[in-house]
Amino acid sequence: MKKLRVAIIGQGRSGRDIHGAYFKSEMNEKYEVAYIVEKSESRRAKAQKEFGCTVLSDVSELYDKKDIDLVVNASFSQMHYAITKDLLSHGFNVLCEKPFGRTVYEGMDLINTAKANGVTVTAFQQSLYAPDFTKVKELIASGKIGKVLEICIRYQSFARRWDWQTLQSFCAGTVYNTGPHPIGQALSLLGWDDNARVVFSSLSTAITSGDAEDYSKIIISTPNGAFADIEMTSTDGFADGYRFKIIGTKGSIKIQGSEYFVKYLDTDKVAPVPLDRCPLSDAEGNPMYCGEKLDITEESGSFTGSSFDSAVDKFYTMLYGTLAEGKPLEITPEMATKVVGIIEKCHADNPLCVRFDDTVEYPN
pLDDT at 57 over 80: yes
More confident residue, 362 or 40: 40
pLDDT at 267 over 90: no
237: confidence class by pLDDT, cuts 50, 70, 90 = confident
pTM of this structure: 0.94
User: Domains in the chain, start-ordered, CATH in brackets?
Assistant: 4-125+310-333 (3.40.50.720), 129-302 (3.30.360.10)
Residue 298 pLDDT = 95
Q: Is the peptide bond before 99 cis (omega within 30 degrees of 0)?
A: yes
CA 359 centroid distance within chain = 27
CA-based torsion, 140, 144, 147, 149: positive or negative: negative
Residue 224 pLDDT = 85
CA-based torsion, 97, 99, 105, 108: positive or negative: positive
pLDDT at 239 over 80: no
pLDDT at 364 over 80: no
Residue 183 pLDDT = 98
More confident residue, 246 or 267: 246
Query: Pick from 161, 133, 99: which is nearest to 347 by CA?
Result: 99
**For a pLDDT cut of 90, what percent of the chain falls above it?**
87
Mean pLDDT of 340-354: 96
Question: 303-324 pLDDT, tens per residue?
Answer: 999 999 999 999 999 999 999 9
Q: Which amino acid is at 185?
A: Q
Mean pLDDT of 224-233: 94
Q: Quote the CA–CA distance of 13 and 30 in Å, as a whole number.
A: 22
CB 162 within 8 A of CB 207: no
- Compute the CA torsion angle 8, 11, 12, 15 (nearest 10 deg): 30
Question: 184-226 pLDDT, tens per residue?
Answer: 999 999 999 999 999 999 999 999 999 999 999 999 999 988 9
pLDDT at 247 over 90: yes
Upper half-sphere CA count for residue 138 (Cβ side, 13 Å):
13
Q: Quote the CA–CA distance of 76 and 97 in Å, as a whole number.
A: 9
More confident residue, 358 or 321: 321
Strand partners, 55: 36
The mean pLDDT value of the chain amounts to 95
CB 110 within 8 A of CB 96: yes
Query: Cβ contacts of residue 250 below 8 Å, gap of 6+?
Result: 144, 145, 146, 264, 265, 267
3-state secondary structure 69-91: CEEEECCCHHHHHHHHHHHHHCC
pLDDT at 98 over 70: yes
DSSP conformational letter for 281: B
Question: 279-300 pLDDT, tens per residue?
Answer: 999 889 899 998 888 889 999 9
pLDDT at 361 over 80: no
**For a pLDDT cut of 70, what percent of the chain falls above it?**
99
16: confidence class by pLDDT, cuts 50, 70, 90 = very high
Question: 105-141 pLDDT, tens per residue?
Answer: 999 999 999 999 999 999 999 999 999 999 999 999 9
Cβ neighbours of 281 (radius 10 Å) = 10
Query: Pick from 144, 133, 129, 167: which is nearest to 310 by CA?
Result: 129
Q: Quote the CA–CA distance of 195 and 216 in Å, as a whole number.
A: 22
pLDDT at 363 over 80: no
Q: Quote the CA–CA distance of 220 and 228 in Å, as a whole number.
A: 5
CB 250 within 8 A of CB 267: yes
Residue 125 pLDDT = 97
272: confidence class by pLDDT, cuts 50, 70, 90 = confident
CA 116 centroid distance within chain = 27
